[in-house]
Chain A
Amino acid sequence: MVKVDGSGGNSSLIQARDLDKKYRRGGEEIHVLQGLNLDVSQGEFVAFMGPSGSGKTTLLNLLGGLDVPTRGSITVAGDEITHMSASKLTDWRARHVGFIFQMYNLIPVLTAFQNVELPLLLTKLSKAERRKHVETALSIVGLADRMHHFPRQLSGGQEQRVTIARAIVSDPTFLLCDEPTGDLDRKSADEIMALIEELVASHHKTVLMVTHDPVVASRAHTILHLDKGALVEGGKSPQSVTAGGVA
């Protein structure tokens, strides 16, 4: 279940209420999000669309605890994150959020295995347990045979798979994907989207994704548009997305 009118109940995994976010750029105040509401249940796959500057990434950053709203509240799995201290928020991110970035953002001097292992170094898992988790994550993304390769030795699609493995290795509550296919060719983009769909279908992951690409967005269960700082439902098919004004 995904709702944008603030009518979702306490059963929602992610609940955002009356979110406002203002920026100052130069002397000008920019009101990016205005009274935004969102409810997302466990296992949902939601795509956020909207023109550049509409606040998609800002919303993702707020939901991921990377930024704080000017007003409003965000509750994830019962944790109200908007009033957490910076250090608590850091701990919370480590336990609950898996990030997948457009530019992969792998550490170039570490192998695929070491990159995926990074979130687990913060846990109390033993070396053997960490190894098992990393191998499982890399197997899920189909890169078990590339685990000792450095990012420069991988294709763009493979790098993004490593990023996905890093995002899921600690079994987070939900995944945030910021233009996960934005830097890939169509074939690689399809493979990545198939992988994300697989994570939702088989591993019951909750995925929130920002994309400009209607074809990519159409793979999600729900497409939401950001319009004048608030979310509106945009249907499922590419046609309906286009009709929503985001061609």
Chain B
Amino acid sequence: MKFARIIWANLVRKKMRLILTLGSFAVALFLFAFLAVVRDAFNRGADVAGADRLVVINRTSIINLIPLSYRDKILRIPSVTYVTHNNWFGGIYQEEKNFFPQFVIDPENQRQVFPELIVPDDQWNAFLKDRQGAVVGAKTAERFHWKIGDRIPIKTTLYGGGSWEFNLDGIYHGKRPQDDETQFWFQWDYFEERIPQAIKGQIGWYVLRVKNPDDAVSVAKAIDTEFANSPNETKTETESAFAASWVKQFGNIQTLILSIGSVVFFTLLLVTGNTMAISVRERTSELAVFKAIGYSDRFLLFFVLAEALSIAIIGGGLGLIFAFLAIPGLAAALNGLLPSIILAPSMLVFGFVVALVVGILSGLLPGITAMRLRVVNALRRV
């Protein structure tokens, strides 16, 4: 600690340069956190996917429906324990910008297939008894200040137009922070009675659970074989694979974000490395004096690395704090377009580690230059 004063004094000797370098770090880490959150949100489906859950869709496309009659055949396949089905409703609450996902659900099996989404029993029982009942995720309820008993009108865009009225009977919470709490569920029976005759008895997709995750591949194969050569062939995959292929529809988000992140990382490395190099170059004679009076080469490397790391810790920390404070605003601005916009603690730690790595790398070369400095030559330059 007795050297902290020297490190600090050197750090603050050019205040404007320090502020600009800290600013570069803060902006870069803020951007890093922002990208990480967006990437996480896109990958959330795969992250929260149950290892024992499979999704069955129409082989042609998810927008093509599948007969409800498939349910019993799927249930007969060994290892399948529960099957539920969903439809995409795609309605609008008041204005288009108020987007949140609405699903038609099968109330009988919903809770068995998605046990991580918790609805209190009394609310769930009320929902079962209410044909126009709805259950909504806590985030969406909070967003629109909905409470149990509220009447919620939703305009349909896919099923003949008009407004559908729902009674809010329940609010669900996810067991884990990453669970999606933005969904709106309502009953299959209510849906079935109001849709055009041509699509009655057709569901969007099945979600099922198997006894053992190890059986997932064989069960998927068995289901697709069962419906091969039928008018509605199926494509069955694990929930995580389904989520991943869903994200792929938006393009290669992962590569895009990694590319931007890499550019940010290397730009930051160059900016900080340049700053440290200039800083060391300006202090050549001072470093020579340190060496002359007995400071070893390792000490000089330590001083330079400590300065670079201090910049990384302060600047990176500021950027991550700003990001932590700003992410809720980002989530609000996106109006629920992406579920579960959260800056996970693991991501904060990873961001901090990235900052430290940049700090070390940016200080390494100037530090080695300082180590290799020949006192005689350096003093002659004065």
Contact = CB atoms under 8 A, between A and B. Distances in A.
Interface of A: 61, 64, 66-67, 86-87, 90-91, 93-95, 99, 101, 103, 105, 107-110, 114, 118-119, 121-122, 127, 166
Contacts, number: 66
Which residue among A61, A90, A103, A114 has the maximum number of chain B CB atoms within 10 Å of its CB? A90
A61 B286 CA distance: 17
B52 interface: no
Nearest to B379: A101
B285 A105 contact: yes
Interface string B240-264: 0000000000000000000000000
A52 to B, nearest CB: 13
Contacts of A166: 293
18 contacts: A66-B292, A90-B295, A90-B297, A91-B294, A93-B293, A101-B289, A101-B379, A101-B382, A103-B285, A105-B379, A105-B382, A107-B286, A108-B286, A109-B12, A118-B290, A119-B293, A122-B295, A166-B293
Contacts of B285: 103, 105
Given A105-B286, A109-B13, A114-B5, A67 B294 contact: no
A109 B9 contact: yes
Q: Which 5 pairs across A and B sit closest by C-beta, in order of nearness?
A: A94-B294, A109-B9, A105-B289, A109-B13, A66-B375
A122 B286 contact: no
B173 interface: no
Contacts of B291: 90
Given A101-B289, A105-B286, A127-B2, 5 more contacts: A90-B295, A95-B294, A101-B379, A105-B285, A105-B379
Contacts of B12: 109
- For chain B, give the interface size range: 20 to 34
Give the interface SS of chain A, mostly helix, strand, loop or mixed: helix
Contact of B294 (A101, A105, A122): A122
Contacts of A91: 294, 296
B294 A119 contact: yes
A110 B288 CA distance: 16
Contacts of B296: 87, 90-91
A93 B297 CA distance: 13
A101 B380 CA distance: 11
B294 to A, nearest CB: 2
A107 B13 CA distance: 11
Contacts of B5: 110, 114
A227 B93 CA distance: 98
Contact of A64 (B2, B292, B297, B382): B292
A153 B228 CA distance: 90
B6 interface: yes
Contacts of A107: 6, 9, 286, 289
B289 A90 contact: no
Contacts of A103: 285, 382
Contacts of B144: none
Contacts of A127: 2
A196 to B, nearest CB: 18
Interface in B1-42: 2-3, 5-6, 9-10, 12-13
B294 A66 contact: no
Contacts of A64: 292
B104 to A, nearest CB: 69
B270 interface: no
Contacts of B286: 105, 107-108
Contacts of A109: 9-10, 12-13
A121 B297 contact: no
Contacts of A110: 5-6, 9
Contacts of B10: 109
B63 interface: no
B199 interface: no
A99 B378 CA distance: 15
A105 B376 CA distance: 13
User: Which residue, of B3, B6, B9, B292, has the highest number of chain A Cβ atoms within 10 A?
Assistant: B292
B336 to A, nearest CB: 52
Interface in B267-323: 285-286, 288-297
Of B285, B294, B296, B376, chain A has the most CB atoms within 10 Å of the CB of B294
A67 B3 CA distance: 27
A200 B266 CA distance: 57
Contacts of B293: 93-94, 99, 118-119, 166
Contacts of A105: 285-286, 288-289, 379, 382
Interface string B166-201: 000000000000000000000000000000000000
